[in-house]
Amino acid sequence: MTGRGLIPVGCVVLLIARSAWSNEAIVSANNEIGIAAGGHNTSYHEIAIPGQKWLTTDSNGYLDSEIGTQGMWRADVSRQGAAFGLQGIYSAASLSVSHGPTDYVGYTVGGFPVVLAHPDTTIDASVRAGRAFEIGAAVQVTPYVQYAFHRWYRDIGGLNRERYSHHEAGPGVLIQYAPTARLVLSADLQVGYTFAANVTGPSGVQGRPDFILHLGARPSEQIAVATDYAITRMLHLTMRYEVQHFTYGASPLGAGYSQGLTIMEPSSKTTNQAFVAGVAYAF
């Protein structure tokens, strides 16, 4: 064989080798259990309807806002392999908890601002399932469906201790690229729709149960980028940054904090951001 003939043969061998380690790196990153810690930023705004705009001087029409950064930890587990007679079946679950201060900014009648600092807690859990498809030598695309649950404990103090929660479901796609045998880069895009959303809080009346207001269902979006670096075959370092956005529709009138008072929860929008770094064990 001539030297010229060796060139295409060498290229084929290189591509086969790269495909093998690239696919192995991605599969390894998708078969692990990990824990991470970092920060979580909440940006929540309640939006006044046209008849309520006299309550606020905010140019955006916000009745009140909650903004702050809390400490956060997150646990993940994922698996990719054969199931139901099919290859590349992907499943994952995650749980995150954040706790820390936020700044509440509200407005009294006449537009005078009220600023309070207080602790908040947020809990998010999700499960997903899909199927992975190899695209070329070093890329994998995994369409999936996801169910998620969100709960936010908002404690301004006194009677203003409220619990917001919703369920969410929708499709997503996980795109992964392995530039080396140890490093996997990921982009994760997911859209969904919230349902069974509500807010509960103390009624303020002795012997009377907490009030509950049902919130309108709305679309939600989430995007995340992540890295997974294998120090050894089993020990991996991970990083993840994500942005989550969702809105709630206004509730119907409901029982309020005292006898004979009716209240409603206005529409709102929330943007949560999180960055975590941690370790994972590949099994």
Residue type at 245 in one-letter notation: H
- What distance in Å separates the CA atoms of residue 192 and residue 221, rounded to the nearest whole number? 6
Q: Is the pLDDT of residue 92 over 80?
A: yes
From the list 212, 195, 190, 194, the residue with the least C-alpha distance to 203 is 212
Q: What is the pLDDT of residue 13?
A: 36
User: Any idea which of 14-28, 148-162, 261-275 has the lowest mean pLDDT?
Assistant: 14-28
Who contacts 263 (Cβ-Cβ below 8 Å, separation ≥6)? 211, 213, 253, 254, 255, 256, 257
List domains and CATH numbers for the chain: 3-282 (2.40.128.90)
Q: Is the pLDDT of residue 230 over 50?
A: yes
Summarised one tens digit per residue, pLDDT across range 131-184 is 999 998 899 999 999 999 999 998 876 656 889 999 999 999 999 999 999 999
Q: Is the pLDDT of residue 239 over 70?
A: yes
Contact 272, 43 (CB under 8 A): yes
Q: What is the pLDDT of residue 253?
A: 74
Name the residue with higher pLDDT: 36 or 252. Answer: 36
Summarised one tens digit per residue, pLDDT across range 61-80 is 788 899 999 999 999 999 99
Q: What is the pLDDT of residue 58?
A: 61
The tokens for 199 are 């807010």
207 confidence band (pLDDT: 50, 70, 90) = low
- What distance in Å separates the CA atoms of residue 173 and residue 72, rounded to the nearest whole number? 25
Summarised one tens digit per residue, pLDDT across range 107-128 is 665 556 778 888 899 999 999 9
Q: Is the pLDDT of residue 32 over 60?
A: yes
Exposed/middle/buried for 188, CB within 10 Å: 0-12, 13-18, 19+?
A: buried
